[in-house]
Amino acid sequence: MVGECFCIVLFTAICLATGGGYLMLSTAARGGLKLATAVCINGIVSCSEGEGTQEAKLFLNILQMNNAFGRNVGLGVSLDKTVQENREIVERGMQLLNPWNPVTMGHARQEPLGWFVPGTQPSEAPLLYYHGGGFTVGSSRGYTPSVIEFASNIEHKGDIFICEYPLLPDVDQEQLLEDAMKCYDRMRDAYPTMVVGGDSAGGTLTLLMHRELVRRGGSIPRAYLLISPSVDLTVGFMDETVTDPLLHKEIYNIFRSYFMEGMKEKGTKHYSALYWEDKEVFDALPPTWIWTGGIDPIGPPAVAFAAKHQTPTLSHTHQDHLCHIAPLFPSYIPEVRQALKVAATVLELSKN
């Protein structure tokens, strides 16, 4: 406990000393989390009790502290804020966790439909990635550093394209899906095949896109990589007994208020893959990797989805002590790096 408090105080001091006030607002404080992690894991102090490595526990502890600090000073996400204000807060949070490094991001460029990152082996099938954010926050630019790190850890060397799709409540769900499909069409014009991935709502979009491709008779991607996919968007989809420092109740309430409105025409079950009974849709699944975390409040439906559609081509990795979309932060969490080796194996098998 003393060690945990020391690390949290250290990280807070670093952020406040740089003039950020709130942890997510300080550009200069971006290295603070890694610095605090290094202090803890090198044996200077110990972190909290519980499952997982010291790095994983510290990562979760600092996120929890960050949420509490933001709430206390009125700088966290809130239904009292405008849509744009909440988007900016989440964007800064992603920039803190995975900063935009000019060395690794130097070749990334913005395109009309998102951000493009050239690979070291352009002949390899590219990765089309749909970012998360409950269909209401997030951006292709904000997610680019995380997706590059994720791709590196699954040994993906091809091009990467992070799709920029419109968000709720600016558009309804049908328009959002239609625009997300444009990213797929753009990739199909340039490459014979591809891998498609996404986290949270981005995983949902990947499955929605797959269903649409099957119905249209379109070409199916070579593989899918789904991180904490949202497969149940009905009213009671979130387990409020689970405390997740990334997908906490304040963020959930914002997401729910926006997407329930945006999906009212067809109903939330239409967009919830857990309830689909289209045999042809699941028969057409290519090699697919699904990751779920045990302290993710939307994790249980994804676990049930993976169990329901057990096939030789579907691989499911579950890590009990990790939070929502943890695989996007492999530099902090050794267990994630191990899990991503399974995703790398799925990618390799999909080449056959």
Across 134-287, the runs of DSSP E, i.e. the strands, are: 160-163, 195-199, 223-227
Render pLDDT for 9-47 as a digit per residue (tens, 0 to 9). 444 443 433 333 334 333 333 444 444 444 343 333 334
Render pLDDT for 168-220 as a digit per residue (tens, 0 to 9). 989 988 999 999 999 999 999 999 999 999 999 999 999 999 999 999 999 99
- Residue reference for tokens 């913005």: 110
Q: How far is residue 56's CA from residue 60's CA, in Å, rounded to a whole number?
A: 6
Q: At residue 233, does pLDDT exceed 50?
A: yes
Q: At residue 259, does pLDDT exceed 80?
A: no
Q: How far is residue 138's CA from residue 43's CA, in Å, rounded to a whole number?
A: 36
Show the CA angle centred on residue 130, arms to residues 235 and 125, nearest 5°. Answer: 140
Token pair belonging to 105:
């991001």
pLDDT on residue 64:
78
For the chain, the C-alpha Rg in angstroms (whole number) is 19
pTM: 0.86
Render pLDDT for 302-330 as a digit per residue (tens, 0 to 9). 999 999 998 888 999 999 999 999 999 99
Bigger pLDDT: 256 vs 88? 88
Q: At residue 52, does pLDDT exceed 80?
A: no
Render pLDDT for 263-297 as a digit per residue (tens, 0 to 9). 666 777 888 999 999 999 999 999 999 999 999 98
Render pLDDT for 125-175 as a digit per residue (tens, 0 to 9). 999 999 999 899 999 999 999 999 999 999 999 999 999 999 998 998 899
Contact (CB, 8 A) for 248 and 67: yes
Bigger pLDDT: 320 vs 50? 320
Sheet of 314-319: strand order equals 109-111, 114-117, 160-163, 127-130, 195-199, 223-227, 288-293, 314-319
Render pLDDT for 70-116 as a digit per residue (tens, 0 to 9). 666 666 788 888 889 989 988 988 888 888 777 667 789 999 999 99
Q: How far is CA 184 from CA 84, 102, 202, in A?
A: 27, 27, 13
